[in-house]
Structure 1
Amino acid sequence: MKSRTRILLAVLATLVGGFSLVLYNTLSRDIIFSGLNFCSSSDIELIMAGLSTFASATIAGFITSLIVVRDNNWPHFLISLFIVAKMSFIIIHLQSSGPVWFEAALQLSLLGGLWFGRYSASKFPLAPV
């Protein structure tokens, strides 16, 4: 594969993976579990929202890995950098609706799900070589 094609696929995968992560995360946290708050939500709602956040990141990581070839991790690194920057911004600047560890755990769930999606796509039998 040529270098230009590889770079184009990496950029495309980063954009598609980032947008799908935002879309699925918004769908799971703001639409399905609207008004999620650590203080007022039940334990079951918090657990289900955490699992849906992990699942949305897994789907985004899987989609990103299917766009690029298996040995290209740049899109995942760039999306992870975006998640870490978002987590830092939330922790430093914004008043969150719950404790800091809760918001940090949700963002770490996104990171873990993204890389789990990459791992599962590499084990997927129909993935590009």
Structure 2
Amino acid sequence: MSARTKFFLTGLATVIGGCCLQLYVTLSKDVLFNGIQFCSSSSSDLVLGTMALFASAIFSGFIASLIVVRDNFWPHLFISLGIIAKFLLVALCGLWSGPFWFEVGLHCSLLAGLWLGWYGAAKFPLAPV
């Protein structure tokens, strides 16, 4: 594979993985659970909503990994930097919906799910070589 093709696939996987992550997080957080907020959501909504966010990140990491070859982790690194930048923006502007540890947990679950999706796609028997 040429360097140009690898660069193109990395960019494409980053854009598609980031868009999938945003779409699935919005669907699970705002549509299925009507906005997960620490103070106003029930305990079951918090648990199920957080698990849905984690599953969304796993699925997005899996999709981004299937676009590029197995050994290419750059899209996941760029998406992870985007998640960290979003968290820093939320932290600096004070726009979180609960305590600081709750927001840290949500963003850490997104990061862990994204990389778990990468790992799952790397171990998936039909992944491109």
Structure 2 length normalisation: TM-score? Answer: 0.97
Deviates more, 1:37-46 or 1:21-30: 37-46
| Structure 2 CA distance for aligned equivalents of residues 95 and 16 of structure 1 | 26
Map 1:26-105 → 2, pairs under 5 A:
26-105=26-105
What CA deviation, in whole Å up to 9, does each residue of 1:33-84 have, x standing for no partner? 1132111211111000110000000000000000000111110000000000
Instruction: Tell me the matched-pair count.
Output: 129
Q: Which amino acid in structure 2 is aligned with residue 82 of structure 1?
A: G
Task: Look up the match of 2:12.
Answer: 12
Closer, same or farther: CA 11–95 of 1 in aligned 2, 3 Å? closer
For 2:36, what is the secondary structure of its paired residue?
Answer: coil
Q: Give the Å deviation of 1:95.
A: 3.2
| Structure 1 CA distance for aligned equivalents of residues 70 and 83 of structure 2 | 22
Structure 2: where are the runs of 5+ without partners? Answer: none
Question: What fraction of aligned residue pairs are identical, expressed as a percent?
Answer: 55
Task: Look up the match of 2:126.
Answer: 126
Task: Look up the match of 1:25.
Answer: 25
| Structure 2 CA distance for aligned equivalents of residues 97 and 123 of structure 1 | 36
Structure 1 length normalisation: TM-score? Answer: 0.97
